[in-house]
Structure 1
Amino acid sequence: MKRISLLLLAGLAAACNQQPSQPTATTAPAAAPAATTPAATAPTAAINTPAAKQLLTKPTTEVLDVRTPAEFTTGHLAQARNLNVKDDDFAQQVAKLDTSKSYVLYCRSGKRSSKAADIMYQQGFRHVVNGGGYDDLK
């Protein structure tokens, strides 16, 4: 019985002294940190008014007011185009836009522009910034 106990104890001691195994070739390398720019938004479409204001200074930026036409007529950014996110065909209207351009979206508070940005992201747009509310941008 002593011999078995000694053998078990010796085996445990040997197992504890082994070096950890090296990673194999199938171990995935650590991902490089993603580059972030104001125009590259995540699918969550969080409000980013400072980035939107920066993009509004560039003449190539497309501006979409996603409020209703009635809201649009009460005031809008000069370069804005009105595409009502509540329209049944909003996704079809967005599908006609150039996915390679940069877009700033806004509404009254940022909620509808967040929804619009999510729809655009699902359609392949990668340069969309939710500017939030019209009053914050004017």
Structure 2
Amino acid sequence: MGLFSSLFGTADNTKLITVIKEGAFLVDVRSSSEFASGSVKAAVNIPLDNLQQQITKFKGKQNIVVFCRSGNRSSMAKNILTQSGFKNVTDGGTWKNVKKILADNS
């Protein structure tokens, strides 16, 4: 994220759009109750607290997009996955951002 986007909150979603179009593994890292209240079609729920125990679910995925409610947990999830050796992880930010991208590009 560049200086402008970090200051003003406008994100460049170009990479996110590309990996979603390529069929990325969509992972909602919110709690199961948050996930049940609404998420992104075709997303799986792996809460941030369970991410380390569920790491095998990410193996072999070409692209991974993690997202949450505000973008904080997705940032932490990306860091955990990157430290675990995954190089193909994109932080999608909020689930509503990912949902909008899916709707706009379908």
Q: TM range, normalised to the smaller chain?
A: 0.7 to 0.9
Deviations 1:81-133 (A, max 9, x none): 1000023xx21201442155210010011110110111101111000000000
Change (3 A) 1:57 1:127: same
Query: What is the Cα deviation at residue 48 of structure 1?
Result: 5.9
Change (3 A) 1:76 1:86: same
Q: Tell me the percent identity.
A: 31
Partner residue, 1:91 = 52
Change (3 A) 1:64 1:111: same
Partner residue, 1:119 = 80
Partner residue, 1:9 = none
Of 28, 32, 35, 1:72 maps to 35
Instruction: Tell me whether 1:62 sits opposite 2:7 in the alignment.
Output: no
Equivalents in 2 of 1:110, 1:51: separation in Å? 16
Query: What is the Cα deviation at residue 137 of structure 1?
Result: 1.8
Change (3 A) 1:127 1:70: same
Query: What is the Cα deviation at residue 57 of structure 1?
Result: 1.4
Q: Is the 8 A contact 2:27 2:44 kept in 1?
A: yes
Q: Give unmatched runs, 5+ long, in structure 1.
A: 1-46
Deviations 1:61-99 (A, max 9, x none): 111000001111111111111000023xx2120144215
Q: How many residues align?
A: 89
Secondary structure of the residue that 1:104 maps to in structure 2? strand
Query: What is the Cα deviation at residue 50 of structure 1?
Result: 3.5
Q: Is the 8 A contact 2:25 2:61 kept in 1?
A: no
Give RMSD over aligned pairs.
1.8
Q: Is the 8 A contact 2:30 2:73 kept in 1?
A: yes
**TM-score, normalised by the number of residues in structure 1:** 0.58
Instruction: Tell me whether 1:51 sits opposite 2:15 in the alignment.
Output: yes
| The structure with more radius of gyration | 1
Q: Is the 8 A contact 1:49 1:136 kept in 2?
A: no
Q: Give unmatched runs, 5+ long, in structure 2.
A: 1-10, 100-106
